[in-house]
Amino acid sequence: MREQKDEARRNAPSRHQCPNFVRIVFGAHQAIIQTALWTQNKPKNSGKGRSSSLFRNKSEMRVTGLEPARLAVKEPKSFASANSAIPAQRNSFYPRRQVLSIAAGRNRDFNGVYMHRQIYYAVTDSTNERLKALADEAENGLVAVAGEQTAGKGRMGRKWQSRPGQGAWFSVLLKDERLNAQNAPGVVFVCALAAARSLNRLCQESGFAIKWPNDIVHGGKKICGILCESGMSGDALQYAVAGIGINLKAESFGGELPWAASVRSETGFDLDAAAVIRAFLDEFDIAMEQMYNYGLSGILDRIRPLSATLGRLVRVENGENSFTGTAEDFGPDGSLIIRDLNGIQHTVHAGDVSVRGVMGYV
């Protein structure tokens, strides 16, 4: 019996003759080499910018985006163009934070659903005016960004201060074939939702709220204003321009703006304007698709939890018809439903009145 075992051992193939063994050893050898090379060449702080470590403390905040070469995700082969009515399938490719990061590096035009070409003006009168001048020939989704605006304005012609390096001043041109005179008034609510959500996400909090219809506030102070304008040909809508101004770093606004503040003065976060614009466009594109496909009601449902107006005592300034009441809800068209002190219900529209808090701006 022992002789048979010795004979079988002598006739068995050695480990060097075994293809599987060689394959395993060779594979392990290659893995060790690859690991050594990666360890030798890996960048310092390779985790910097990931969603788990993007924000470490409020004294060191500067959002610049994550280097896309460090992402272990595949880029889609194609995206919808700015003129396309069909969005790319963003959620199947990237987590939300990685979309923001990729937009910062590999493809600066990719922001969520659409491709947004951007035009930058170091100084201009108004980004809204620049896009209106380009509207006939420019493509849907074009973004105009300004370092400084000399004639920035808000609703009802109010002046908007846009100092250099102090905020994100930009506008978006909308020429989608699905946009029309009936749904265009909803764009202001889409912008407000996108601005509040993007600022809450970047600052990792929920303090940014929406003052009906078009302001973003924090701690009762105005951080962001929105102005939407449109171009008509008869009864047909030709284009819409959504202008957004976000105070990021300003510390003083003059006596004429007692309720103004900035992201930094309110939260301590020192945000980068380019990253704020990218985050806004990410939210904006998704919300616009929701409005196109399902109407304004879904947008209003998402705004209600973020509203700084609903449930509060407000003052409606409308000349001789001014009154005070409690903001109860939104109408299906985005109007504000207010019950006055006599119990009478009123429906007010954004373009007709100014709504302020009784004890302050909100």
End residue of a domain, out of 306, 323, 340 = 306
18 and 63 co-located in one domain: no
Which residue type is seen at 65?
Answer: G
The verdict on 93 and 6 lying in the same domain is no
User: β-strands 345-348, 313-317: how paired?
Assistant: unpaired
What pLDDT sits at residue 253? 65
Tokens read off for 176: 């989608």
Domain membership of residue 53 (yes or no) is: no
Q: Which domain holds residue 180?
A: 58-306
The answer to whether residue 348 is domain-embedded is: yes
Same domain, 17 and 106: no
Would you give the distance in Å from CA 167 to the centre of its chain?
Answer: 15
- The verdict on 194 and 341 lying in the same domain is no
Distance CA 322, CA 358 (A): 12
Quick one: 329 and 251 in the same domain?
A: no
Amino acid at 78: S
pLDDT at 83: 30
Residue ranges in the chain modelled with pLDDT below 50: 20-26, 33, 37-113
Q: Are residues 116 and 159 in the same domain?
A: yes
The distance of Cα 67 from the centroid of its chain, to the nearest Å, equals 19
User: Are 287 and 350 found together in one domain?
Assistant: no
Within-domain flag for 47:
no
Bridge partners, residue 282, by sequence: none
Tell me whether strands 345-348 and 336-340 are parallel, antiparallel or unpaired.
antiparallel
The residue length of the chain stands at 362
**48 assigned to some structural domain:** no
pLDDT of the residue at 100: 32
Q: Check whether residue 203 and residue 324 sit in a common domain.
A: no
Q: How many CB atoms lie within 10 A of CB 163?
A: 16
Report the CATH number that the domain containing residue 326 is assigned in CATH.
2.30.30.100
Domain count across the chain? 3
Cis peptide before 213 (omega within 30 of 0): yes
**What pLDDT is attached to residue 102?**
29
- The pLDDT of residue 165 is 87
Beta carbons within 10 angstroms of residue 193's beta carbon: 23
Matching residue, tokens 């399938």: 89
Determine the Cα–Cα distance for residues 51 and 111; give it in Å rounded to an integer.
Answer: 17
Contact in structure between 325 and 337 (CB atoms under 8 Å): no
Same domain, 220 and 110: yes
Residue 86's Cβ-count burial label (10 Å; 0-12, 13-18, 19+) is: exposed
pTM attached to this predicted model: 0.68
For strand 236-247 and strand 221-233, is the pairing parallel, antiparallel, or unpaired? antiparallel
Same domain, 106 and 202: yes
Regarding whether 225 and 87 lie in a shared domain, the answer is: yes
Residue 362 inside a domain? The answer is no
Q: Give bridge partners of residue 121 from the DSSP assignment.
A: 146
Residue written as token pair 């990410």: 282
